[in-house]
C-alpha cells in the first residue's frame, strides 16, 4: 500500500458520510440516471397520430371486435406501424352538439329538438359527455361538458331566433373547446344541426367589408356585370379561406364532423345554400364523418292534414338519420401510430386507412384523410 492510500480512503469515507446526511435531510431521492440498452432506439421526436375510423357493414351495422391486425395505415403512401387500436366500448365519447337557432331552420325546429334529445339519450353512457353550442349571431356555449340528462334538458330549452348565422366561428369554438377540455384519447365528435350557411362569422364580416371597399373604388371603371362577377369571386374566396381555417381547427382537435341539414331538398334553391352544404360535406369527408342531407317534406302548406302527414314522415326520416349516426359512433375506433416521417409544423399530411376484413355484406369505412403537423 502506498503512503497516499489512507488519504484516499479517508476522503471516500467523508464523501459517503456527507451524502448520507444530505439524503437523510431530503426525503425526495435523486432519480437514477436513464439507462438505455444498446439495442433500444427511442425517437423523442416521434409524433403520435390518432385516426378515428368508423367501420360498418353493408347494412349499416357497426363492426365490432377489430384489433391492430385488422387495420393498415399509410402516411403519404408510406406504411405506418400501428401501436394501438381502441374500440368504442372502451373509449369515452365527447360530443359537441351545435344547434342552429337562426330563422333558416325555424319550420322544423321543435321536432329536431326532440329527435336530438332522444339521440343523446340513446347513445350516451355514464362516462360520456356532451357540450351544447348554439349557432346564431355569435357562438354561444349554453352548456359545458355534462351528462346526458343535463344535455337533454338544455336542448329542450332552446328557442329559435331570427339572428344571423356564425357557422364557421361556432364550429371552430367547438373544436377548440374539445381539444382543450376533452381527454386526448377520447372519441371527439362535432354534430351540427344546421344548413351550413354563414353570414356573421368574424372572418366573413371583415372579408366582405374589405371586398366592398376595394371594389367600390373601381365602380366607375368597370361594368355592372364585371362588378357583380368580381364581387361573387371575392366573396367565394373569403368563404373558402374560412372553410380551410375551420377544417384545420377540426383536424387539430382530432375531431370527427357530422351534420344534419334541416333545409332538406330546398338547399338547392340558391348558391349560398349549396355552398353551406358543401361546407359540411367537406368537413365530414376530411375528418371521417357524414354530412346527412335528408329529403324533408314541406310542413308549411295550407292543408293542416298534409302538414301533419309530412311532419310525421319527416320525424321518421330524422330518426333514421340519428339511428345511422348512432351506429357509426358505436363502430368508431381510434387507430394510433407514431409517424416515421419528418415534416415541418403545419404541413398537411395525407393519411390512408384500410381494413383487412372480408364480410359478405361488404364494409363501409370512414376515416380522417389527413392531419396538420403540430408544433412539438
Q: Is residue 12 part of a domain?
A: no
One domain, residues 363 and 284: no
DSSP 3-state of 17: helix
**61-to-226, 326, 363 alpha-carbon distances in Å:** 52, 10, 10
Q: Is residue 122 part of a domain?
A: yes
pLDDT of residue 46: 65
Cα radius of gyration (the chain): 28
One domain, residues 128 and 154: yes
pLDDT of residue 274: 84
**Maximal C-alpha separation, the chain:** 116
pLDDT of residue 110: 83
Torsion angles phi and psi, residue 111, rounded to 5: -75, -20
> By C-alpha distance, which of 40, 41, 43, 47 is closest to 338?
47
Q: Residue ranges of the chain with pLDDT lower than 70?
A: 1-46, 103-107, 217, 219-221, 264-270, 376
Distance, in Å, from the CA atom of 259 to the CA atom of 271, rounded to the nearest integer, reads 19
One domain, residues 294 and 346: no
One domain, residues 222 and 250: yes
The total domain count for the chain is: 2
One domain, residues 70 and 168: no
Where does the chain show beta strands of DSSP type E? 47-57, 71-75, 78-80, 82-86, 93-100, 129-135, 139-146, 187-193, 255-260, 291-292, 332-339, 348-355, 363-367, 370-372
Q: Is residue 38 part of a domain?
A: no
Q: Concatenated DSSP letters for 222-242?
A: S-HHHHHHHHHHHHHHHHHHH
Torsion angles phi and psi, residue 221, rounded to 5: -110, 0
Q: Is residue 285 part of a domain?
A: yes
Residues 21/311, Cβ–Cβ less than 8 Å? no
Q: What residues make up the domain containing 308?
A: 92-331
Q: Is residue 20 part of a domain?
A: no
Grid look-up 391486425 returns: 69
Residues 276/198, Cβ–Cβ less than 8 Å? yes
Q: Is residue 306 part of a domain?
A: yes
One domain, residues 258 and 298: yes
One domain, residues 62 and 181: no
Reported as a single tens digit per residue, the pLDDT across 54-64 is 999 999 999 99
Work out whether strand 82-86 and strand 332-339 pair parallel, antiparallel, or are unpaired: antiparallel
For residue 300, give the C-alpha cell. Answer: 308549411
One domain, residues 269 and 257: yes
Q: Is residue 211 part of a domain?
A: yes
Residue 113 sits in a domain of what CATH number? 3.40.50.410
One domain, residues 149 and 253: yes
Residues 133/141, Cβ–Cβ less than 8 Å? yes
Instruction: Produce one character per residue of 68-101: b if its CB has 16 or more CB atoms within 10 Å, e if not.
Output: eebbebebeeeebebeebbbbeebbbbbbbbbbb
One domain, residues 128 and 208: yes
Q: Is residue 21 part of a domain?
A: no
pLDDT of residue 133: 97
One domain, residues 164 and 111: yes
One domain, residues 175 and 270: yes
Amino acid at each position: 500500500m502506498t503512503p497516499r492510500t489512507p488519504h484516499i480512503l479517508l476522503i471516500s469515507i467523508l464523501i459517503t458520510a456527507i451524502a448520507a446526511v444530505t439524503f437523510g435531510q431530503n426525503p425526495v431521492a435523486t432519480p437514477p440516471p436513464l439507462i438505455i440498452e444498446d439495442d433500444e432506439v427511442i425517437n423523442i421526436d416521434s409524433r403520435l397520430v390518432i385516426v378515428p375510423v368508423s367501420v360498418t357493414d353493408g347494412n349499416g351495422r357497426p363492426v365490432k371486435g377489430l384489433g391492430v391486425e385488422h387495420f393498415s395505415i399509410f402516411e403519404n403512401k408510406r406504411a405506418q406501424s400501428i401501436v394501438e387500436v381502441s374500440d368504442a366500448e372502451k373509449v369515452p365519447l365527447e360530443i359537441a352538439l351545435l344547434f342552429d337557432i337562426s330563422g333558416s331552420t325555424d319550420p322544423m325546429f321543435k321536432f329536431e329538438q326532440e329527435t336530438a334529445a332522444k339521440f343523446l339519450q340513446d347513445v350516451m353512457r355514464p362516462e360520456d359527455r356532451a357540450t351544447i353550442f348554439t349557432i346564431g349571431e355569435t357562438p354561444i356555449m349554453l352548456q359545458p361538458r355534462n351528462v346526458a340528462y343535463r344535455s337533454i334538458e338544455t336542448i329542450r330549452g332552446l328557442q329559435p331566433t331570427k339572428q344571423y348565422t356564425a357557422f364557421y366561428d361556432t364550429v371552430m369554438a367547438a373544436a377548440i373547446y374539445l381539444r382543450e377540455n376533452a381527454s386526448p384519447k377520447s372519441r371527439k365528435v362535432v354534430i351540427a344541426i344546421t344548413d351550413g350557411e354563414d353570414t356573421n362569422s368574424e372572418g366573413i364580416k371583415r372579408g366582405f367589408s374589405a371586398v366592398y371597399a376595394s371594389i367600390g373604388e373601381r365602380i366607375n371603371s368597370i361594368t355592372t356585370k364585371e362588378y357583380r362577377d368580381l364581387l361573387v369571386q371575392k366573396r367565394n374566396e373569403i368563404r373558402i379561406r374560412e372553410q380551410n381555417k375551420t377544417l384545420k381547427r377540426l383536424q387539430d382537435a382530432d375531431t370527427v364532423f357530422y351534420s344534419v341539414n334541416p333545409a332538406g331538398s330546398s338547399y338547392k334553391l340558391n348558391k349560398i345554400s349549396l355552398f353551406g352544404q358543401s361546407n359540411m360535406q367537406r368537413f365530414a369527408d376530411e375528418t371521417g364523418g357524414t354530412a346527412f342531407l335528408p329529403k324533408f317534406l314541406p310542413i308549411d302548406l295550407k292543408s293542416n292534414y298534409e302538414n301533419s302527414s309530412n311532419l310525421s314522415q319527416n320525424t321518421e326520416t330524422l330518426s333514421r338519420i340519428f339511428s345511422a349516426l348512432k351506429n357509426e359512433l358505436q363502430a368508431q375506433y381510434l387507430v394510433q401510430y407514431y409517424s416515421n416521417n419528418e415534416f415541418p409544423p403545419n404541413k398537411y399530411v395525407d393519411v390512408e386507412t384500410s381494413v383487412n376484413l372480408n364480410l359478405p355484406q361488404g364494409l363501409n369505412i370512414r376515416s380522417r384523410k389527413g392531419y396538420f403537423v403540430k408544433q412539438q
